[in-house]
Amino acid sequence: MHLLIPAAGSGRRMGSSRNKLLLPLLGQSVIAWTLRAAQAAASIEWIGIIGQPHDWQDFKQIVAELGLEGKVQFIQGGATRQASVYCGLQGLPADAKHVLIHDGARCLATPDLFERCGAMLEVCKGLIAAVPVKDTIKIVDPATQIIEQTPDRSNLWAAQTPQGFDVETLRHCHQEGRRLGWEVTDDAALFEQCGLPVKIVMGEDTNLKVTTPVDLTIAEFILKYRAELLAESQNP
């Protein structure tokens, strides 16, 4: 399985002076946790990190510390996530048939989630990890701030990554997106706009996207909790 990790953002909503993926989280960087989960997923044999040149040095050091040099390639990203994934698709090895795309900022995804998404790609051409929404969602008129509609919550899912695709089909969808000027925030949306089916794989409630400072605090809490559970299971 080939894995692309979009990591070329700036982390504007984090309010930090550097890429949020390089911020510390329980003794490691955010992206190191993401890479560790990918490393522990046995089916992933190639990882493309899509980044900006000013982060190369830090990324390379993290990859070296994890002993991942043989598996990782660096690919220069673009101005938006969509542009970065497009660049990533150009950087895939020629023999790549399937690809998982996983945001560097989702540093709590488990190896099991990567494996379940990879397995599902054997039987479909497009999938995303997602979870049923817990909140009631409102559609709001941006001008008046008045609610227009309350969609039936039982049909609503919150999109996560990994998202997985047949490489040729996803390349085609990205090309269509560029040709027609579509602006989307995930790759599934390009598939959908091309009229192609995208399957849901049950995601994880803990698979949050580190976006604002409070997410770092929550992520630290979850990682500590996991470490405690592991320690308990090793010394019952």
Binding site for ligand CTP (CB under 6 A): 6-13, 20-21, 50, 77-81, 84, 103-105, 209, 211
Which partner in Mg ion, ligand CTP, none is near 134 (CB below 5 to 8 A by kind)? none
Query: Which residues sit opposite 165 in a β-bridge?
Result: 99, 126
Peptide bond into 162 cis (omega under 30): yes
Q: Given the structure tokens 């990782």, which residue do they identify?
A: 72
The residue with its CB nearest to ligand CTP is 9
Assign 110 to helix, strand or coil: coil
Q: Given the structure tokens 């795309």, which residue do they identify?
A: 101
Query: Which residues sit opposite 202 in a β-bridge?
Result: 130
Q: What is the DSSP letter of 172?
A: H
Which partner in Mg ion, ligand CTP, none is near 8 (CB below 5 to 8 A by kind)? ligand CTP
Q: Closer CB to Mg ion, residue 2 or residue 81?
A: 81
Q: Hey, what amino acid is at 229?
A: L
Q: Closer CB to ligand CTP, residue 7 or residue 117?
A: 7
Q: Closer CB to ligand CTP, residue 59 or residue 191?
A: 59
Which partner in ligand CTP, Mg ion, none is near 3 (CB below 5 to 8 A by kind)? none
8 Å CB contact between 94 and 19: no
Distance in angstroms (rounded) separating the CA atoms of residues 146 and 139: 9
The residues binding Mg ion (CB under 5 A) are: 9
Which partner in Mg ion, ligand CTP, none is near 79 (CB below 5 to 8 A by kind)? ligand CTP
Q: Least Å distance between CB 77 and ligand CTP?
A: 5
